[in-house]
Structure 1
Amino acid sequence: MIFTAVLSKPSKNCAEILGRAYIKVRIWKNTSLPIKKQNEFHAEFFTDKQAFQKNFSLEQVQEFIEKHAGTTFKNCIVRTETEEITTMANKRGEIKTFTKKISGCPQEPKFTGSFNRVKQHILQEGTPVPFLIELGIMTREGKVVAQKYDKFRQINRFLEFIDDVTESVEFLNSTPYTAENPLQIIDFGSGKSYLTFAIQHFFSEVKKIPASITGLDLKEDVIQNCAKLADKLGCANMEFKVGNIADYKSEKKTDIVVSLHACDTATDFALDYAVKHNAKAIFSVPCCQHEINMQLEKIKPDSKSPFASIMKYGILRERFSALATDAIRAELLEQNGYTVQLLEFIDMSHTPKNILIRAVKNQGKKSEAQTEASKCRMNSLIEQLGCSQTLEKIFHSQPHIERGL
């Protein structure tokens, strides 16, 4: 039985075959369904900027893999209960398949009168994880505390977004990470550091990649508690500092920048830091985007502005302003050498602040035409809104800074 499949490295005619220029497809068994439907699978199709969801039956998954593994996508990794099957195609179009036995098997759903929701998370329920235990998310037996299941799910979802990037051979092989030269990560606005400790566990224990992680936050008591927990867990590769994102300076190289729920323009300073330090990857979930919202308040509902109907309602203006802000940020990152995706982080039922900006540094240089097109889109949006945005102002006030283009 297939449990997961990942298809990557698309061929040149992928868009012609599948209708869009997908760069990766992830498929997994949908164990949240009732048992009688558990031959159904969920799939995510990723382009450079979007993710599309589909549901497949087992037969459709098998047909899709048979048709596209090694052809439409040059790499395909399929995991079953007992094997990992890798299909690869070289530049000459020759397709080879390798099979590796794996110990243990993915956890099957149990039926005890109600349907238990079991998913193949990176961090598995039933396997004790020290930092989750200390943070009160998991019991010492490895059971997720019922009231903390949403947090458990959020942590796993975030790790999946990171895992997608680190699966890239180019990302990991561009630098040989060692204990002397670890992967350098900074978490701006780390707060209680649920995700900071999750990242540490992911790289150190799951990926076995040496990593050094810094958490920065304004609250001194929170930082002290996080430092104590890191010491208790024996995480020598972690440090926590009190400080403001806008003022933070470091001579260390930076590979990954994380910024979750940094308030308003603090996100812009985190993105600016990442670009200045040529970070390989950025993961940012913006929060409380007041800047453009406050500027749009001047548009009167009875004006001839094309946005007047939106500005009439405070909640629409707030959400529209947040979307416009993130669109500008995404364009600016593209102009500075990144491939950007805006992805859903967690369900809308939990919080409206659910857009994740995921940006990965390009290996090559984008064409001038692509850069100019991005500038044109962004400038048109800013002009139509009649507003300004902090990250745009920062970048244009520092033309002398070399940004790795």
Structure 2
Amino acid sequence: MMSEQNEMALLREAILGDGLVEAVFQGAQRGAAPPWPRVAIRPVRIRQARHLQFAYFDGVQEVAKNYRGEEAGAKLDELLALPFKSIQAITAGETLRVQFSKKGRAILHRERRHQEQTIPLELAHDRAKPSLLPEDEPIPFLQALGVMTADGRVRADQQRKFRQINEFLRLIEETGELAELTERPVRVVDLGCGSAALTFATYYYLNEVRGIPATLTGVDTKAHLLERHRATAERLGWDGMRFQTARIIDYEADAPADIVLALHACDTATDEALARAVRWGSRLIFSAPCCHHHLQAQLAAAETPEPFRPVLRHGILRERLGDTLTDAFRAHILRLLGYRAEVLEFVAVEHTPKNLMIRAVHTGAPALPSLVAEYRAMKAYWGVTPFLEELLRDRLVAVLS
């Protein structure tokens, strides 16, 4: 068995080698807090010289710095010494994943690619990220959904959908939490699954790509859509996928969900989905909110704070501010209740104005007094009460008292 020191040396060699495509450091080991939730490394060519670009993401913004030679090696050693939860290095010929046990021991997994699967290297400064799902080989569920042709090509009018699927799967992978879901099978619930493209993608990625046994239940009120999804799942032979016709607030699960998806659930249905996830103690939450009416109505009825009167006298700006405040309150409530929550761009704004994703990981960390004070101040300033607070009032009363 390879020693831990040799495993980390192998990883270091892969990242510094000429075959690197991308390396990602993310998450935090138990009881630790690296200075960045995520750092990505990729090779770039600057003035005809190969550099390694280190992109440091602090949860709000990303700062990229370019290094080469011994300086790149030193910066990599700094990262390797930090208590990240997982490290993944994709090279032209293989993927290396390092997960850390509860005791902090590094465990290396290697997945070598066949020669025909080798990833071509591209050193353009602004090159696109490699797709988690290949674009040029048949994937049955994408064919069944009409995204791919029979010979495995992404249809011209489905390129946007294909990129959206890959970006969503990347948001799941980047949490670094999948390896922590030790109960098998992993239980996933998609509340308000709709057309279910991302529902099918999640099931496929967990079971077929990551090799994590998972079941998935899609919930929606549109019975005709769910009947079609059941038929698709049956054709694919996916016995672990089922669909249930119900409103989110009425849905009764057989067991708590480990992962909750709530993608474009309308208005307060998003809050209902988030409240469900909190009460289940779900490890991961991915919510892409849709329309935001509840808090906007409160803003219209409340006295406008003096500095914002020039803003809120315009209907479109009032609406956008209401959207922003609603999602800020949602993320803040999740933080108060033991989640690490962040608001990210899900897809580019030119694809849809509803392009935000609330991504949350349950840590169980107690609410800091500063977070409580911020929440109270924000409510008092705007004169509103978020609907999610109403749904989780029994959980929040102890935190806010």
TM-score by length of 2: 0.81
1:108–1:321 Cα change, 3 Å: same
Mapping of residues 206-355 of structure 1, within 5 Å = 206-298=209-301, 305-355=306-356
Q: What one-letter code is carried by the residue in structure 2 that aligns with 1:289?
A: H
Taking only the aligned residue pairs, the percentage that are identical comes to 32
Seen in structure 2, the aligned counterparts of structure 1 residues 286 and 109 have a Cα distance that, compared at 3 Å, is: same
Match in the other structure for 2:92? 81
CA offset at residue 297 of structure 1? Answer: 2.3
Cα pair 2:188 2:215 within 8 Å, conserved: yes
For structure 1, which runs of at least 5 residues remain unmatched after alignment?
A: 111-116
Matched, 1:27 2:38: no
Corresponding position of 2:4: none
> Residue in 2 aligned with 1:375?
372
Tell me the equivalent position of 1:121. Answer: 131
1:214 and 1:60 map into 2 onto residues whose CA distance is: 50
- Does the alignment pair 1:131 with 2:178? no
Deviations along 1:161-210, one digit per CA (max 9) or x if unpaired, are 111235564x23xx342xxxx11110011011000000010011001111
CA displacement at 1:56 relative to structure 2: 4.2
Q: Could you say if the C-alpha distance between residues 299 and 230 of structure 1 is closer, same or farther in structure 2, counting changes exceeding 3 Å?
A: same
1:5 has 2:30 as partner: no
Structure 1 contact 284–357 (Cα < 8 Å) conserved:
yes
Q: Distance in 2 between matches of 1:353 and 1:260?
A: 10
Alignment coverage as a number of residue pairs? 373
C-alpha deviation, 1:365, in angstroms: 3.5
Q: Distance in 2 between matches of 1:245 and 1:91?
A: 35
Greater CA deviation, 182-191 or 311-320?
311-320
2:120 paired with 1:108: yes
Query: Conserved in 2, the CA contact under 8 Å of 1:46 and 1:52?
Result: yes
Q: Does 1:50 align with 2:47?
A: no
Partners of 1:159 and 1:237 lie apart in 2 by 19
Q: CA deviation at 1:304?
A: 6.1
| TM-fit CA distance, 1:316 | 1.4
CA distance in 2, matches of 1:331, 1:383: 15
What secondary structure sits across from 1:274 in the alignment?
helix
Shift of 1:62: 4.0
Separation in 2 of the partners of 1:153 and 1:41?
25
Checking the alignment, whether the CA contact within 8 Å between 2:132 and 2:166 is kept in structure 1 is yes
Deviation digits for residues 279-310 of structure 1, max 9, x if unmatched? 1110001110011112222468xx76222122
* TM superposition shift of 1:249: 1.5
Structure 2 unaligned blocks of 5 or more? 1-17
- Evaluate the alpha carbon distance shift between residue 61 and residue 330 of structure 1 in structure 2; reply closer, same or farther with a 3 A threshold: farther
Kindly indicate whether the alpha-carbon contact (under 8 Å) linking 2:29 and 2:100 is maintained by their aligned counterparts in 1. Answer: no
Deviation (angstroms), 1:124:
0.7
Task: State the distance in 1 between where 2:242 and 2:106 align.
Answer: 45
Mapped contact 2:54–2:65 kept (Cα < 8 A):
yes
Contact 1:264 1:286 in 2 (8 A): yes
Q: 1:78 to 1:317 in 2, by over 3 A?
A: same
Which amino acid is the alignment partner of residue 238 of structure 2? C
| Deviation for aligned residue 1:243 | 1.0
- What is the CA distance between 1:4 and its match in structure 2? 1.1
**TM-score normalized by structure 1?**
0.80
Cα deviation, residue 8, structure 1: 3.9
CA distance in structure 2 between the partners assigned to 1:38 and 1:287 by the alignment: 45
- The reply on whether 1:388 has 2:385 as its aligned counterpart is yes
CA contact (8 A) 2:289 2:354 kept: yes
Give the deviation of 1:244 after TM superposition: 0.6
SS at match of 1:306: helix
Deviation at 1:7, TM superposition (A): 2.2
How far does residue 251 in structure 1 lie from its aligned partner after superposition? 3.0
- Give 1:70 shift: 2.2
CA distance 1:99–1:122, change in 2 (3 Å): closer
